[in-house]
């Protein structure tokens, strides 16, 4: 039995090592869609040590570098999903309206087959988010889809800015007001939770500032304030060190949170879902807030009754940095189709449409200097399509993360699960084509009355 265990562990070792390495690869003679610098015909993309080294025509293949024939293929940056819950299970710490102290990075599952399925859709990075049960939920984690590792730390995108999940409207009022008879029970109560939490965090900061300013002075006998991770996190939001990503639907509430942020000097806000964002697009642009939307999902509950498939285009035309996200283990596999819908609903051009799933979500996550477009010096996250990615007939054939092929349609085994006992819930989710709010996962028990 021990020998069998050793054999199994040794078989996993190459997967672990490869996940921690950067790769070398060159794609030759493809149509290269850079997003930010136009489209190049019959061009090559050379990735060395996980970074894009050169983009051009007639590049020589260096010795010991894997060559991929891109003739007739289309190459674009890896797709980025700004709202996902893959690699996570229980995503709602629904025990208090404010749980800023928890962090999804503590609970990543590298074995989740959903990561591989996302790669099959060309997605190389996703924002692994806390749920929306709380007005102020937990911190989130930006992950790279380095499928094949057994180490959750390898999934984390080192150096990515910190983010946190907020929520407006029905979700926190149902969980706390209706479910537990505590604030917030109303939309007014949600605002009061924000203001109370930020006011307490500001007082917490002031206490620490006073202590730090005096602790080294002769004769000072004061004690340090009590350390509180929740308050520390909220204080970092006030300092601008954490980006708020807020679950939202209604225009009035979106406007409300912008007013709260103005009052507390908070500038880094991304509204998620933001179905009625088109109603307050100029206000969002003026504030500098960003928007991550569905292409055409709405009316799955009452507060989402009013929206439009033109939402992304209207926001874009008003100067709002906009992305299209999945919030779904199924939809994440074809975000390029979702981006294409904005050409029917809004007449966005190719680069504008593809920016919704590449450079714009990168900007929203604060990683656009590293990924989101094909530029020399950026990280080697690339997708190879058999046709133009905005075509309904296009299929991702190869997905590369850090210069390493993580998905290869032609050569991957039929079963890419790392181990055979992967939970059945993923397969159930993939057969469920009706949108459900994944952000409310694991809170259903509260509403059995």
Q: With helix as H, strand as E and coil as C, how does 241-298 read?
A: CEEEEEEECCHHHHHHHHHHHHHCCCCCEEEEECCCHHHHHHHHHHHCCEEEECCCCC
The pair of structure tokens assigned to 149 is 């590792």
How many angstroms separate the CA atoms of 182 and 208, rounded? 30
Q: Which of 376, 393, 405 is nearest to 336 (CA)?
A: 393
- pLDDT at residue 401, as a whole number: 98
> Are 436 and 325 contained in the same domain?
yes
Q: Provide the pairing of β-strand 74-77 with 382-385.
A: antiparallel
The pair of structure tokens assigned to 354 is 């593809």
- pLDDT at residue 398, as a whole number: 98
> Are 404 and 439 contained in the same domain?
no
> Are 363 and 381 contained in the same domain?
no
> Are 221 and 352 contained in the same domain?
yes
Q: Which residues of the chain have pLDDT under 70?
A: 1-20, 418-437, 444-449
For residue 401, how far is the Cα from the chain centroid?
A: 16
> 383 pairs with which residues across the strands?
76, 399
The pair of structure tokens assigned to 375 is 């530029």
| Structural domains counted in the chain | 2
> Are 301 and 275 contained in the same domain?
yes
Q: What's the Rg (C-alpha) of the chain?
A: 23
Torsion region of 64: left, alpha or beta (phi above 0 gives left; psi -120 to 50 gives alpha): left
> Are 258 and 384 contained in the same domain?
no
> Are 174 and 320 contained in the same domain?
yes
> Are 72 and 188 contained in the same domain?
no
Residues 6+ apart with CB under 8 A from 168: 135, 187, 190, 246, 247, 248, 249, 250, 253, 254, 256, 257
- pLDDT at residue 4, as a whole number: 53
By CB atoms closer than 10 A (0-12, 13-18, 19+), residue 264 is middle
For residue 294, how far is the Cα from the chain centroid?
A: 13
> Are 332 and 392 contained in the same domain?
no
Q: Which of 184, 134, 175, 136 is nearest to 444 (CA)?
A: 175
Query: Is 93:102 a contact under the CB 8 Å cutoff?
Result: yes
> Are 117 and 204 contained in the same domain?
yes
CATH code assigned at 123: 3.20.20.140
Q: Provide the pairing of β-strand 51-56 with 66-69.
A: unpaired
CATH code assigned at 410: 2.30.40.10
Torsion region of 49: left, alpha or beta (phi above 0 gives left; psi -120 to 50 gives alpha): left
> Are 390 and 297 contained in the same domain?
no
> Are 407 and 285 contained in the same domain?
no
pTM attached to this predicted model = 0.91
The pair of structure tokens assigned to 40 is 């190049």
The parent domain of residue 143 ranges over: 79-371+424-447
């Amino acid at each position: 039995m021990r020998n069998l265990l050793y054999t199994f562990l040794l078989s996993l070792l190459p997967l672990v090592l490869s996940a921690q390495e950067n790769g070398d690869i060159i794609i030759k003679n493809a149509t290269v869609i850079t997003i930010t610098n136009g489209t190049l015909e019959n061009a090559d993309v050379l990735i060395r040590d996980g970074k894009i080294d050169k983009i051009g025509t007639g590049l020589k293949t260096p010795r010991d570098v894997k060559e991929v024939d891109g003739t007739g293929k289309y190459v674009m940056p890896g797709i980025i999903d700004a709202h996902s819950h893959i690699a996570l299970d229980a995503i709602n710490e629904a025990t208090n309206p404010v749980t800023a102290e928890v962090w999804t990075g503590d609970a990543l599952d590298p074995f989740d087959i959903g990561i591989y399925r996302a790669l099959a859709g060309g997605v190389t990075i996703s924002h692994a988010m806390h749920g929306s049960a709380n007005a102020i939920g937990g911190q989130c984690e930006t992950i790279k889809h380095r499928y094949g590792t057994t180490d959750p730390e390898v999934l984390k995108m080192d150096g990515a800015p910190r983010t946190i999940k907020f929520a407006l409207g029905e979700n926190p009022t149902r969980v706390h007001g209706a479910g537990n008879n505590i604030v917030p029970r109303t939309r007014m109560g949600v605002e009061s939770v924000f203001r109370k939490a930020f006011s307490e965090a500001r007082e917490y900061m002031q206490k620490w500032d006073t202590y730090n300013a005096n602790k080294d002075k002769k004769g000072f006998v004061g004690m340090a304030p009590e350390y509180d991770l929740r308050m520390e996190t909220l204080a970092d939001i006030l300092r601008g060190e954490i980006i708020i990503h807020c679950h939202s639907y209604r225009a009035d509430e979106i406007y409300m949170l912008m007013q709260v942020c103005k009052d507390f000097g908070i500038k880094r806000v991304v509204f998620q879902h933001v179905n009625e964002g088109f109603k307050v697009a100029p206000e969002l642009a003026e504030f500098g807030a960003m928007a991550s939307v569905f292409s055409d999902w709405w009316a799955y509950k009452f507060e989402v009754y009013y929206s439009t498939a033109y939402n992304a285009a209207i926001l874009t035309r008003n100067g709002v940095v906009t992305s299209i996200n999945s919030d779904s283990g199924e939809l994440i596999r074809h975000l390029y189709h979702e981006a294409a819908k904005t050409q029917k609903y809004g007449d966005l051009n190719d680069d504008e449409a593809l920016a919704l799933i590449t450079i714009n979500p990168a900007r929203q996550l604060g990683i656009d200097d590293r990924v989101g477009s094909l530029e020399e010096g950026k990280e080697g996250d690339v997708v190879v399509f058999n046709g133009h990615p905005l075509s309904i007939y296009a299929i991702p054939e190869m997905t590369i993360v850090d210069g390493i092929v993580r998905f290869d349609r032609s050569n991957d085994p039929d079963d890419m699960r790392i181990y055979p006992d992967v939970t059945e819930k993923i397969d159930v989710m993939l057969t469920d084509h009706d949108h459900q709010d994944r952000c409310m996962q694991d809170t259903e028990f509260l509403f059995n009355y």
